[in-house]
């Protein structure tokens, strides 16, 4: 995203540093950006209706009810 803003001259890059371009007349913003196409796909409009998939830490917690005591079973051998 940063490199695209650099190409559009909205932010400037000097070495590894980025900064805003305060000269707005140098900005190159495409005019068709943000407009919907005339033939819309109805499924793309409903993307916000679904729940996000479970991401990140998905570690299950094992409660005492779920856990089986293996040490008492192996002591009979």
Structural domains of the chain, count: 1
- Residue 64, in any domain of the structure: no
Per the DSSP assignment, residues forming a β-bridge with 12 are 19
- Residue 37, in any domain of the structure: no
- Domain extent at residue 5: 1-32
- Residue 55, in any domain of the structure: no
- Residue 21, in any domain of the structure: yes
- The C-alpha atoms of residue 46 and residue 77 are separated, in whole angstroms, by 60
- Residue 13, in any domain of the structure: yes
User: Per residue in 13-65, pLDDT tens?
Assistant: 888 899 998 988 888 887 765 566 566 555 555 555 555 565 666 666 666 66
Residue 19: predicted pLDDT: 92
Residue 70: predicted pLDDT: 60
- Residue 47, in any domain of the structure: no
Distances (CA, A) of 32 to 22, 35, 60: 23, 6, 47
In this predicted model, which residue has the larger pLDDT, 74 or 9? Answer: 9
Nearest Cα to Cα of residue 16 among 2, 31, 32: 2
């Amino acid at each position: 995203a940063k490199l695209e803003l650099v190409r559009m001259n909205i932010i400037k890059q000097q070495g590894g540093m980025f900064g805003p371009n305060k000269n707005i007349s140098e900005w190159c913003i495409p005019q068709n950006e943000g407009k919907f196409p005339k033939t819309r796909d109805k499924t793309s409009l409903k993307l916000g209706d679904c729940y996000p998939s479970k991401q990140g830490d998905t570690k299950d917690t094992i409660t005492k009810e779920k856990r089986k005591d293996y040490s008492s079973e192996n002591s009979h051998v």
